[in-house]
Copies of this chain bind each other. A is one copy, B any other.
Amino acid sequence: MSKQGAKGLREVLRLPPGEGVDLASYDTRATPCAPNGKDAALADSARMGKRLGRLQERLWAAGTAGDRRRVLLVLQGMDTSGKGGTVKHVVGQFNPSGCRIKAFEAPTEEEREHDFLYRVRRALPEPGEIGIFDRSHYEDVLIARVRHLAVPAEIGSRYGRINDFERSLAEDGVTLVKCFLHISYDEQGRRLLRRLDRPGKRWKFNPGDIDERALWPAYQEAYEAALEHCAAPHAPWYLIPADRKWYRNWAVSRLLLEHLKALDPRYPKGDFDVAECRERLLKRT
């Protein structure tokens, strides 16, 4: 762990709320605060996995006793940026029974009849759970903006509605960990080619991905607007350099660990008479 680590990765990767964001100025191959090299990071990630599991159990246990707190990890990023890989490698370290994972696809006809936050509200984690959004309500100001799926005034109003929504979540005990997985245009090209060339990866490829890629500059601009407009102290954005998968996994694990440690969930004491239960139990054994 470098000296920067002492500061907490949260402070290092957090985009300053209220400031303009220039994505091109962030190096997608950077590895801030990482242990020294890939092997050390993988070893550290494995160690963190155990701690994450223990903290998750405490969060869950507290939830059974009325603690309303929970975590919501929001993963956003261009195609191939590694949202699915993060779920597999980072979320895979938790007990799956305490995780509520939702991958948002294009909205269904039924969903389109409602406000854009309708389907998001239905996928929120319950108290004690770790929620994971693979894509999210941000698509409604990303692809919706780039592909003109709504008029500009509607898009414009959504930033504020997202902020109101996220504030209400925070007030209800949700710790938001919003991660933008930042890859370069070149890295996306390499990853798409790999999907085409490897038979075991080809099922992930969609010819439409090439059309989306042609809109790269518009997407970067839409991301910059979203990251600028929708960052608050209770719901900041973290920019994760994501060209290196080992760093991406390490960094998201580390962010979750820092947040869970700060929550410091406790096992409930139990509201029953332990001695009396012990006696009743031993009588029957």
Checking B65, B202, B274 against A274 with a beta-carbon cut-off of 8 angstroms, the contacting residue is B202
Taking a contact as CB atoms under 8 Å apart, the answer to whether B203 and A267 are in contact is yes
Checking B94, B189, B193, B281 against A192 with a beta-carbon cut-off of 8 angstroms, the contacting residue is B281
For the complex, is A233 an interface residue (Cβ under 8 Å from B)? no
Taking a contact as CB atoms under 8 Å apart, the answer to whether B267 and A202 are in contact is yes
Type the 1/0 row for A252-284, where 1 means its CB is closer than 8 Å to any CB of B.
000000000000000111101010011011101
Q: Output the least CB separation between A70 and chain B (Å).
A: 16
Closest B residue by C-beta to A192: B281
Checking B61, B87, B210, B267 against A96 with a beta-carbon cut-off of 8 angstroms, the contacting residue is B87
For the complex, is A4 an interface residue (Cβ under 8 Å from B)? no
Residues of chain B within 8 A (CB-CB) of A278 are: 193, 196-197
Stretch from A97-105, A112-120, A148-156 at the B interface: A97-105
> Given A91-B96, A207-B272, 7 other A-B contacts at CB below 8 A?
A61-B203, A92-B96, A94-B96, A189-B281, A202-B269, A203-B270, A210-B277
Q: Which residues in A have some Cβ–Cβ distance to B below 8 Å? A: 61, 64-65, 84, 87-88, 91-92, 94-97, 99, 101, 103, 134, 186, 189, 192-193, 196-197, 199-200, 202-205, 207, 210, 213-214, 267-270, 272, 274, 277-278, 280-282, 284-285
